Every structure is written in C-alpha cells, then in structure tokens.
Structure 1
Amino acid sequence: MLDCHDEVLFYTKQLVNIGSIVNTNGENEIAQALYTMISSFPYFIENTTHVIKPQTQNDVLERYNVLAFVKGTKGNSNRTVILMGHMDTVGIDDFTQLAGLAFNPDELLVELKKEKLPPHVKEQAESGDWMFGRGVLDMKSGVASNLYLLKYYSEHPHELEGNLVFLAECDEEDSSYGILSGVKGLNAWKEEHGFEYIALINSDFVSPRFPGDRNRYIYKGTVGKLLPSFFITGAETHVGSAFEGLDPNLIAAELTRQIDYNPDLCNEALGETTMPPVSLKQMDLKPNYTVQTALAAYVYYNFFIHSWTPKDVLEKLKKHASIAFANGLRLYEERYRQFCKISGEPCRDLQWQPRVMTYEEMEAELIKEHGSDYTAHMVDFKENLLLDATLDLRMYAARVVEEAWKWMQDQSPAIIVFYSSLYSPRIEVNGETEDERNLIEALEAAVKKVQPEYDESIVVRNFFPYISDMSFVALSDDDEALDSASRNNPSWGAKFFVDYQEIRELNVPVVNIGPYGLDAHKRYERMEIDYTVRIVPNITNEVIKNLLAR
C-alpha cells in the first residue's frame, strides 16, 4: 500500500482553495496552478515537453486543459493508462452567507458546526473524518489522487512498465469542451509517442445508491444521457373564447404526466436499471402577457440509457407523446362537453387529432415542400441566432424548431420531438474485447487486494450513474445511432458539433474509481477522507500495475 494519505489530502485542499466555477476565470486559474505544480516536479523539469496546457478548441470561452505523461523505464512497452479528472465545479449560490468560505474547507467546517445541521451531517462534521466544501467531492480529491500517482511515477519511472498519462480537463459541468478537446490531445500523443492506450481510469465521485447503503462503488462504463425535447403547438384563441382554441400547455402537462418518473422508460442492461426520465423544463413560448392563449409550449426531460440508442429513445417517446396528446384531447373534449351542458351552448365536433413527428421528419417534409428557399432561410436564421448570447443550447434549439414550424403548411396542433443538447454516449464494458477483459480482471484483482485495508465493502458495478466526461472517450453506439442524435438536433453544426470519429479513434475502455461522499452540488458537499485519500489512490495504482504488467 502506498503511504499517500497526507499528500493526497494536501493536494485536495490546494485544489479546492482555487474557486474554479465552470464558465469563470477560475477554470484558467486552476489550470495554470496545476500546470505550474506539475512543471516543478524534477521529472518534468528534465522533460519539459511531457506537460502541456493546451487551450480548448471551438470553445466560446478561453480556457485550458492540463496533460502530462511519464514514460516508464521498466522495459520498452508502449502500453499506456490514462488518468482523468475534471478541474471545474458548479457554483456556490447554495452556500448563501457562507459563500466566501465555500473553497476553504477548514474555515467552512468551523462555521458549519455553529449551524443547526441535519443529524447525520452534524455527526459527520464533528467526527473529523469528513471534509466539506465546494469541489472536495466533485471532484478535486479525485484529481488530487491522480496528481499524486503522476508524481509518484515521475519519481519511480523504473516501476512503470509502460506509460501513464494524466488529463485534467475543464468544462465538465457544462458543455464538455474540455474533454472534446482533450480527446484530440490524447490522439495526438498517441501518434507522436506511439502510445497504446489500454484503459482510462476516471476519478469522479461516488455516493450511496439508497438510504442506508454503506457500499463504496467502482463503476465499469457509464450511463448515457439524452435531453429529449418537445415543441408543442396549439391553436391560439382569446381567453374569453377558450374552447375555440387549444392551449398547448394542456398537452405539455399531459406529456409530463406521461413521461415523468415512468418506469416503462427505464433502460435495463447487464442487470442494472437507469433512473426514469424527469422534467428539467416546462414552459410556453409567449414572450409576455396577453389575453390570448400561448401558441406553443416547450418541454424537455433528462433521459438516461444503458443499452438503448438515441434512435430507440425517439421511437419510444413518439409513442408516449401520441398517448399524451390523445389523453389531452380526450380531457379537453370531456370538459368542453361538460361546459356546454352547464352553459347551454351547443357543442361542435372537435377537429384535432394527435399529431407527432420528429424534427428529422419535419425537416424532410419542409425540404420537400419548399426546397432551397427553406434551407437557405434556416442557414441564415441559425447564423443570426448565434448572435443572441442569452440563448443557451437548449433554447437555441427551441427557437430553431419554432422558426421551422412557421414554414409548415398544415398548422394544426402538433408535437415535434427532438434533442436540444449534447448527447453523452453510454459506454458498456462487458468483456467483449481483450482490453475490456484485461481491465475487468485488473480491477477485480485490485479490489481483492485492497479490500482488507478498509472496513466497508467495495463493490464493482457496470454503469457509472451520473453524467461524466467518460462518455467522450469511447463509443458503444454505431454510426446509425449517432447520426440519429445529430439529425434530430437543430443546433448540430451551428451551435455545437462533436467529432465522434476522434472519439472512435481513441475508444479506450473506462472505469471510475473516485472519492466517496455525499451531497455533491449541494451546500453540505463532503467527502469521506480515509477512503478518498488512502483507498482510492491505492486501488487505482493496483489497476495500473496489473494492466501494465500484462
């Protein structure tokens, strides 16, 4: 066992002290600090080209990754393991009056102890076994573990039978510009130095899966994440003649009732099941108050996948959208007829039917109807829309769909299904390739060796359950599945683009061995010190040794 506790703890505090909130200059500060720190290690003073701080590419902001590598001198192997972790954090608004201490774990703990804390938080705060603060869990302690191992092997290259690459990337908490640029850097080093990448070890945080769960988890592969979105058009009317139109918010509400928390939309694979989808936004698109009903509504949902493809998800959600549309119209008709009965007004037959299509299907119809007039208009519209800095990726996509809808000859109410954000691909590590089998065996052996040094059970599962940059270092989807995601995203090629061929070129099996804690992204974010700074580096190190010794 490596005697790493104090050093990893020290690095953790140093990194946490730098407020590297995503999309702020703090990301640049921490990248420079890491680069300076690594450059000061004797190995990198002698090998200055082995550490770089490249700027991200095609990014809306100026920011940087940090990459470094140690070439082992034990033999002549090109086998290479990558250690990865992100430097950025979410914001600190949730710390309220303690925001000034969010990046100072020691002082923050003193102040937290003065508050009336929930019982379990109070117990942990007073135990001395936990560290609190923004980024301590997600995931600067994981980066600190990787930094320690990089330094260790820079001082002991004779123990390394192969190579070790360190990647600290920015922008994990928002748009993943860091890893998308990092993949290019990894592939460039593969070409330049002849690296044979055999595994990537990510060091993102892990937490209990349910109340009372005491296991510490390690994950092979990762969940995939989509953001299926729905543009819902109605029939506008004055509120004084409510039943002469159709409120799209009614259909949106039925859609959320159909999709939110629906177990039928959980994806099971390798004996594990995803969380069901849940709404992340529901709104209409009226710019301000009027006495007319809204013309359109917009809803999107988080959607996790293990084995389904983006195409599978669209097909399933088209069916559920049709059910929701029919339910909404049925409810509308029931209430309309009840109103006619109590008011004495004569009833008319309703003219609407459920109408659902994907963005790709709508695009095909519009191109067939209008040809180059439509396509040229939309190219100009998308370019001009980029000038609106207030629009994030999700709202940009909605505005594109809204504009395209104006060209539809049939303006009867409809639901358009599309994707409005980055697709984070799923990764299965199931032993299909030799590299996957070697990684699984190396991990099992590492856990078996280190487990006696720790009281709680260390359990290996198949899919990391949170969104992470692991999604962009390998692909389990084929080109058809990826094309479905891009063709149904109105922002693709205009506001964002992912070079999946770069990812396929890297295509390295992944595991996540990371810090253990609670309340990531929350006020009481905290990590258990012993597991995080002693056990995690040692399991990671055993996996490295097991892999490179093969």
Structure 2
Amino acid sequence: MGEKKDILREIDKEIRDILYRYIKTQSFTYTEREKEAEQFLMGHLSEIPYFKENPQYYGTYPIPGDSFGRAVCYAMVKGRGDDTVVFVHHNDVVEIEDFKLLKSYAFSPDELAQELYKIKDSLPSDARKDLEDDTFLFGRGTADMKGGGAIQLALLRRYSELKDFKGNVIVIAVPDEENLSAGMRAAVKLLEELKNTYGLNYKIMINSEPHQRKDFTQGIFSEGSVGKLMPFVYVRGYLSHIGKVFEGFNPLNLMSEIVRSTELNMDFCDAMGAESAPPPTWLYLKDSKKQYDVSMPLSASGCFSILTLDQTPAEVMEKVETVCTKAFGKILEEMNESYARFCQVAEPVAKELPWKVKVTDFASLCEEAAGAHGAAFRENYEKKVAHLSQSMREGTINIIESNFALVEFVFDYIEDLSPRVVCGLIPPYYPNVSNLYFEKLDPQVKTLAQDLDAYTWETYRQHYTKEYFYTGISDLSYTSIREGNRTLEALERSMPLFGDFYSIPVAAIETITMPCMNIGPWGKDFHKLTERVCREDLFERTPRIINKAVSLLLDDPSLA
C-alpha cells in the first residue's frame, strides 16, 4: 500500500495543474493554433528529469505534407522487457462559436463557472444542477479531451520516477482528431518505427476519451470503436426550361428520393450482440445553380454519414448503389405516370420519356472518360487532383467541395449526356475495430474489463459495464484493420480524393495491430457551451483505474 501512495499520491493536484495549462492552448482543429498544444507538450516533457536524461525517448513526429506543419507528440518510459502499453489522446478542440459573449472564459474553468452561474437559469436543467453542485468542471477541452490527456501525462511522469519499471509505457498526443485524423494516421507510422527500433510488444492501446453514461451509477469501458464512412451521391440531370419540364430531368427530384430512402434507414445499421450502430444521416446537400434562372439545375450532390460495427466499405457501397437504383426506378415510374396524364390534355412532346436507370461508381465514371479521351484525360485529371489538393491545404476549398469539383471535372469528358447517379466515398474513413475480432486475445486483455470492474466496485462501490464499440468515433479505429488489401481496393475505387491528399497506412496498421480500450472520465455535452467533465472521475477514479490496468497488463502488482 505504501508504494501505491508513492505512485499516485496527490495526483489530483498534478492532473489539475496540467489540465489548466493544457486547455489554455487554444488548439482549434485544422488550424495553425493546433501547434500551441504541441509546444506546450514539448515544454512540459522537457522539464521532466527522466526525459532530460533520456531525450531519445520523447519528441515530435511530423505529419508528412501537412499544411500547418503539425506533428504528433510522443514520450516513452522505457523499462524492463518488451511488453508495452500505449496511451493515446487528441489535443485538438472544436471552435467556441456557441460561447458568444463568454468566449474569453472558454478556456478558464473557474472563471467560466462564475459566468455560467450568472445565467444558470437559461441552462438546461442537467447542466444547471451540475454547476450548482460543483461536481463537474466546465470548459472547452475539459472533457473532449485534454482531461484524459492530463491524466495520461501525470501517470507517465510518475512511471518515469520508478527505478525498476517493468515494461514500457508510451503516450501519444495527436492533432486533427476532430477533422481527418491526420495525426493518428501519422502516429501509426511512428508506432511502427518505435516497435522496430526497440523491439516492442504492444499489449494494448488505451484511449481516454470521455464516456457518456446510460446509467449515472455505472461507468463504461469500450473495447473497440465504431467505424465511419461518408458516402456521396452525385445526380446528373438534363437541363430544360421550367415550361418544358418533360424535356428535362430534374436532379433534385431524384436526389430527394435518395435522401428520403437513406436518412435514418436501419437497413444500413449493423449490430453486434445488444449493440447497434446508429442509422445514417445526411450532412451536406446542394444543387449546382450559382444564381436564379428559369431552368432546372444540371446536378445535385450530397453526402451522408454511416457508422459501422462490422460492415466493410465494399458492403456499404453495394447498399448505397442498390438504394440509388431503386430510387431512380421509382422516380422514372412517377415521371412517366405524370407524363401520361399530361399527354391526355396537352400535345405530347414525345411518345415516351427517354430516360433509363443509370447508376455507377466513381471508378467506372473515370474509366468511361479515359476510354473516350485517353491520355489527355488522365494527364488533366492528375493536374486537377494536384490543384485541388493544394487548394485544400491552403484552406481555400473544403474536402466536400473538392470531391464534387473532381466529379464535375470528370463529367466534362463524358460524352453520354443522359441522367445518371454517381456514388462514392469522401474522406475520412474509420475502420470498425473491436477486441471481439481478435482470434487469439491475450488473457490479460481478455479479462481486463472484468478485472477493472471488480477493482472499481471494491474501491469505489461503482460498477463499470463493458461495450464492444465506442460510438463517439475515435482514433482507436487505427489500432487494427481487417482485410486490409480489400479495404484499400474499395477505397481506391470509390474515393476520388484517395491518394496523395488522403490515405490509410494499412501496412503500418497491420504491423502495429493491437487490442484497444477506452478508459476515460465521465463527460457531458461535448462540443457545446456546457461541455464538462466529472471532477471525481477526472481527479480520482480514472487515473487509478488506468494505473490498475497498466499494473495488470505489465504484470506488476506493485503499481497498484
């Protein structure tokens, strides 16, 4: 018991100190300010005696080609043996638009609480109660997720002071989690290099994202992370004046049917045991008109999000194409019925409408353009991709706009002018991962959630339930990948921007493959004005739970 106190004594004060300084770095995602978190971390680590004596064990790992020059921060306590536990957290945060007049307090928890107290009657009842009871710490990044990062950093420093540490612990701090996970995709290659350099055996990756409780009396351990895909749909119509509607094909009509056929469609959900992925929802929808005129738009485009537990990109895209095909057929049937009624009272413009169902994937569209224009298309296509990639790095165009600009470019080389639907994927792609999918799981990992629950009940009289998937989307998605080559083939075929601008390091993921678990504090209202983290979890429970996990995984009872 004495050594346990030596390791964790007054860790609450250290976590608080780290967190209050960490959140002062206003590291808004996909901005130059993310580097502020990197600078803080390097300054913090450089003051720790262990890393002063062993500078080779910490540093930064630049993200290749990153427009903001961002880097992954890492630090390793190198002990005896090869067994290694990896901690990961992200250090970017979302913007603070909804803070309005309280923006200047967003990164100062104590001052923010005072200001929120003045407007407490306007807050949701749950947030008002947590504020009045002083059980939660408010502020941007307190929950998502510099609170978890502060816990990891505090534990790492304490491990660095042990003279005969058994095993190894690495902390990885990544930028860009809230955007494209460029940080984590680079971190995979870093972990591959560390593994090869030091002969490490990765036992598990522990993330410390906040968890949301279904039952306020029970915490949650997540043994995996939900996957994410963002299919896009591009509908090419046929122009006509609104006075001649049957001479054209309005893409908005078909796109509306596709949206209604996919929004919250449970057929896209997969389930594992009692867990189910949420149904899809649309994130973007737009037609091609730049200004008003009396013709129908030439095209409509949009994308929606699909979360997965087991489905592959190829399986999801097959479902998307099936929905689009059925929707196309339904719209043509309705159009022909309407045209038949119109012809009963007006002179027909044609015997029947000429349109046929035509749904294709992006790769097939490119093959069609290349078949018609050969080397000229391929050369100009590469130039277009390079131009769009540079524009995205400069921030003059976003990734969704770039995707559809590329589709429009390919259509310039398509000679068939008839209406059609093009389907594909927009980055990012998050593989679904779970310890369920490991055929031979380390016994210590297999029983870890159960062992930690026994610990939390004995110590805090609080149970923690186990779920197989963290549904908030996390960087744990890159700890393993199934059918890597088939996934690459599907992404290359369906994702226009896959390549130099966006890629998945499949080979590196397969090299570092490890189980994962999310062990984080209880948090609420992520990305909102009332974002907050439970004080007792942050300062007391979670650091001790993670420390217990490390002691079990590295087989060192003296830690706990």
Alpha-carbon separation, structure 2, partners of 1:313 and 1:366: 25
8 Å contact kept, 2:85–2:203: yes
SS at 1:113 equivalent: helix
Amino acid at match of 2:195: K
Hey, what does 1:367 align to over in structure 2? 370
What whole-Å deviation, never above 9, does each CA across 1:13-63 have from its counterpart, x for those lacking one? 221222111123331111111111121112112212221123222212112
Hey, what does 1:6 align to over in structure 2? 13
1:140 lines up with 2:146 in the alignment: yes
Of the three residues 113, 116, 122, the one matched with 1:112 is 116
Alpha-carbon separation, structure 1, partners of 2:132 and 2:492: 50
Hey, what does 1:504 align to over in structure 2? 510
Greater displacement, 309-318 / 56-65 = 56-65
Alpha-carbon separation, structure 2, partners of 1:34 and 1:521: 23
8 Å contact kept, 1:223–1:425: yes
Of the three residues 303, 307, 312, the one matched with 2:310 is 307
Hey, what does 1:26 align to over in structure 2? 33
Quick one: structure 1 residues 338 and 451, their matched pair in 2 at CA, closer, same or farther if it must change by over 3 Å?
farther
Amino acid at match of 2:124: P
8 Å contact kept, 2:59–2:73: yes
Shift of 1:214: 4.8
Alpha-carbon separation, structure 2, partners of 1:301 and 1:435: 35
Hey, what does 1:410 align to over in structure 2? 416
Hey, what does 2:89 align to over in structure 1? 85
1:262 lines up with 2:265 in the alignment: yes
Equivalent runs, 1:191-206 vs 2, <5 Å:
191-206=196-211
Alpha-carbon separation, structure 2, partners of 1:287 and 1:450: 59
1:128 lines up with 2:131 in the alignment: no
Greater displacement, 85-94 / 180-189 = 180-189
8 Å contact kept, 2:456–2:464: no
Quick one: structure 1 residues 527 and 399, their matched pair in 2 at CA, closer, same or farther if it must change by over 3 Å?
same
Amino acid at match of 1:249: L
Greater displacement, 444-453 / 395-404 = 444-453
Quick one: structure 1 residues 477 and 93, their matched pair in 2 at CA, closer, same or farther if it must change by over 3 Å?
farther
Structure 2 residue runs without a partner (length 5+): none
Hey, what does 2:224 align to over in structure 1? 221
What whole-Å deviation, never above 9, does each CA across 1:284-315 have from its counterpart, x for those lacking one? 12233332211111110001111111000111
Amino acid at match of 1:6: K
What whole-Å deviation, never above 9, does each CA across 1:95-117 have from its counterpart, x for those lacking one? 11111111111111111111121
Of the three residues 415, 426, 429, the one matched with 2:432 is 426
Alpha-carbon separation, structure 2, partners of 1:494 and 1:83: 29
8 Å contact kept, 1:232–1:252: yes
Alpha-carbon separation, structure 2, partners of 1:21 and 1:406: 38
Alpha-carbon separation, structure 1, partners of 2:449 and 2:220: 12
Hey, what does 2:521 align to over in structure 1? 515
Alpha-carbon separation, structure 2, partners of 1:318 and 1:173: 29
Hey, what does 2:103 align to over in structure 1? 99
RMSD: 2.0
Equivalent runs, 1:288-367 vs 2, <5 Å:
288-339=291-342, 344-346=346-348, 348=350, 349-367=352-370
Equivalent runs, 1:27-42 vs 2, <5 Å:
27-42=34-49
8 Å contact kept, 2:228–2:430: yes
Please give the TM-score of this superposition, normalised by the length of structure 2. 0.92
Amino acid at match of 1:54: Y
Amino acid at match of 1:190: K
Alpha-carbon separation, structure 1, partners of 2:110 and 2:131: 11
SS at 1:58 equivalent: coil
Hey, what does 2:73 align to over in structure 1? 66
SS at 1:91 equivalent: coil
Please give the TM-score of this superposition, normalised by the length of structure 1. 0.94
8 Å contact kept, 2:247–2:349: no
Alpha-carbon separation, structure 2, partners of 1:189 and 1:91: 33
Structure 1 residue runs without a partner (length 5+): none
Quick one: structure 1 residues 196 and 494, their matched pair in 2 at CA, closer, same or farther if it must change by over 3 Å?
closer
1:536 lines up with 2:539 in the alignment: no
Equivalent runs, 1:389-468 vs 2, <5 Å:
389-430=395-436, 432-468=438-474
Percent identity between the aligned chains?
29
8 Å contact kept, 2:372–2:413: no
